[in-house]
Structure 1
Amino acid sequence: MKRSSILIFALLFGRKVSAQEIITPPVNQPKIGKSLFNNTVSRNFSRKGEWFVHWGWNFSWYDTSDLNFKGPGYNFTLKNITAKDRPSEISTDYINPLELTTPQFNFRFGYFIKDNYSISLGWDHMKYVMDVPQTVNVDGYISATISNPAIPTGAYAGTYNNTPLTVKADMLKFEHTDGFNYVSTELERYDDIWVAKSQKNMLTMETGVGVGLMIPRTDVRLFGVGENNFWNIAGYGISAKAGLKFHFTKKFYLQNTTKVGFTDLSAIHTTGRDDLDGASQTIRYLENFTALGFQF
């Protein structure tokens, strides 16, 4: 009886040990986000924990905007003004390290908080140039002299009630050319469209939303008086974007993105007399940029 018990115990214990020996631990597979374009996962690696940085150049288009000027002796609004960007001509400025910030550029760096989500900080250096001359409707009043020391306004003095007026260079020069700067934090999502078998090449859709500060350098001449003002926090902006990223190696990529944005600038510097004179406007824009990036 004792011998039988020992044999049964040995048999059961041996089976348990054998079962434990053949169980293999699960392989830690990377958690990869599902794409909107494919139910199956094509990549064998996760982006989580990686960083990226890119630099590129942009074009921008602006909706009409109401522009208000206010100070001693004046408070008037130019309605539905038109403006355009000012891209630099093709030159060595685009690759010269000493002139990289002269063209309209985009810089951004970010971190993948998940395989298919990242947070980033960036600088969109756009340019905004009001068309002069142009005819607009005006509300408000302009005294014969404005500000302090006095600035004569000549034939532009008067009271306006949705009155048509041709704005000429002797009345106004207004540009955010150094520039119309949007410094923003963005949240991005990525959806793979195509992944090569080598895992080195892929096409990915990027979408995102952002919020940030508007820090323009505004060049103004109001009735001949003003300056290229220093950078200041003039307001805020919000934006949304969508674009494509093509990885031509696992680390390097080329990106093209379109962004729509709304900005509210309530503290624009004008004559240089910031305690007296100022301007405000809201600007809606469409921006497209192409950038070269590195992911690591």
Structure 2
Amino acid sequence: MRFKNDKSDDYDFVFHDAVAHDHPSMSDFWRFKSLTIPQYDATVGYMFHDKNDLGIEVSWNHLKYVVDDYQTMRVSGEIRGFKFDRDTLVTPDFVHLQHTNGNNYLMVNLVKRWQFLAGRHLALSAITKVGGGPMISYTISSIFTSHAEGPFHYEGWVAGTSVGLKLDVFRYFFLQSDMQGAYAKYTNSYIGADRQGRVTHQFGSAQLIYAFGFNVPL
């Protein structure tokens, strides 16, 4: 994880093996006015009904990513002419970073369906997806107590794949579960009140998705 500012300040340093976690915020899930606060996924797609049973979809994965405060890690680089390379306790007064509104994946996916059970009212299919797209994220951060929040903007890109099961009910409704793995690369995150600093980092993510929705026959 690299922090750099050569415009309004003078620093260029790296966090090695930083530890971060997600933040499901599921306590807000049942409040109607707070539906967008927890981690969630929304998808719209179209099945071509060709011989290969392919489709395409656009998905919005609203995840959250928080770098743990008060962790000790190796930090190396330069701050205002002082060079260093040593284990450091990273407090919020030094650096704090979170993508919690959020770590957003906007992905276009190719979808493949294998239907292996089709009854009068129920149909069960295996679903695989592969795709990628931009991350339109909202970062909350501070460096040397200089605090910044947002705005939503392009911060990098993501690519991923998933596999799951889909149960169609009475043709018009469905239940679905997916296991998705993704690789995210942040290239343009702001840090500092003047938004002149930049953060670059990358990580892998895995999520288990439960979904319900509606089929619209055309």
- Asked if Structure 1 and Structure 2 have the same fold, meaning a TM-score greater than 0.5 normalized by the shorter chain, the answer is yes
1:82-121 mapped onto 2 (5 Å cutoff): 82-91=19-28, 93-94=29-30, 96=32, 98-115=33-50, 116-121=53-58
Structure 1 position 214 matched with structure 2 position 148: no
Give 1:90 deviation, angstroms: 3.3
- Unpaired runs of 5+ residues, structure 2, are none
Partner of 2:203: 283
Q: Residue by residue, what CA displacement relative to the aligned partner does 1:230-271 show, whole Å, maximum 9, x if unpaired?
A: 111011111111111112321111111111111111110111
Number of the residue aligned with 1:141: 78
TM-score normalized by structure 1? 0.68
Whichever residue aligns with residue 131 of structure 1, its letter is D
| 1:159 counterpart = 2:83 | yes
- Residue 86 of structure 1 aligns to a residue in which SS? coil
Counterpart residue number, 2:145: 224
Offset of residue 194 of structure 1: 2.0
Does the 8 Å contact 1:141/1:160 carry over to 2? yes
Structure 1 ranges of 4+ moved more than 6 A: none
| Matching residue's letter, 2:107 | S
Q: Distance in 2 between matches of 1:179 and 1:138?
A: 26
Question: Which residue does 1:295 correspond to in 2?
Answer: 215
SS of equivalent residue, structure 1 residue 81: coil
Change (3 A) 1:125 1:135: same
Give the TM-score normalised by structure 2. Answer: 0.91
CA–CA distance in 1 between the matches of 2:71 and 2:123? Answer: 47
CA–CA distance in structure 1, aligned partners of residues 59 and 150 of structure 2:
23
* CA distance in structure 1 between the aligned counterparts of 2:115 and 2:31, rounded to whole angstroms: 31
Count of residues in correspondence between the two structures: 211
Distance 1:259 1:126 in 2: 12
User: Match of 1:233, SS?
Assistant: strand
* Higher helix proportion (structure 1 or 2): 1
Structure 1 gaps of 5+ residues are 1-66, 145-157
CA distance in 2, matches of 1:239, 1:264: 12
Which one has the largest radius of gyration? 1
Say whether the 8 Å CA contact 1:94–1:103 is kept in structure 2. no
Q: Which amino acid aligns with 1:167?
A: V
Q: Given residue 227 of structure 1, which amino acid in structure 2 is its aligned partner? A: A
Q: By how many angstroms is 1:89 displaced?
A: 3.1
Alignment of 1:1-296 (within 5 A): 67-71=1-5, 72-91=9-28, 93-94=29-30, 96=32, 98-115=33-50, 116-143=53-80, 158-161=82-85, 163-196=86-119, 198=120, 200-274=121-195, 276-296=196-216
In the TM superposition, residue 95 of structure 1 has moved relative to its aligned partner by 5.6
How far has the Cα of 1:277 moved from its partner? 1.2
Identity of aligned residues (%): 26
Hey, what's the Cα distance between the residues in 2 that align with 1:167 and 1:175? 14
Is the partner of 1:285 in helix, strand or coil?
strand
Please report how far the alpha carbon of residue 202 of structure 1 lies from its aligned counterpart in structure 2 after TM superposition. 1.7
173-182 vs 223-232, which deviates more? 223-232
Amino acid at match of 2:3: F
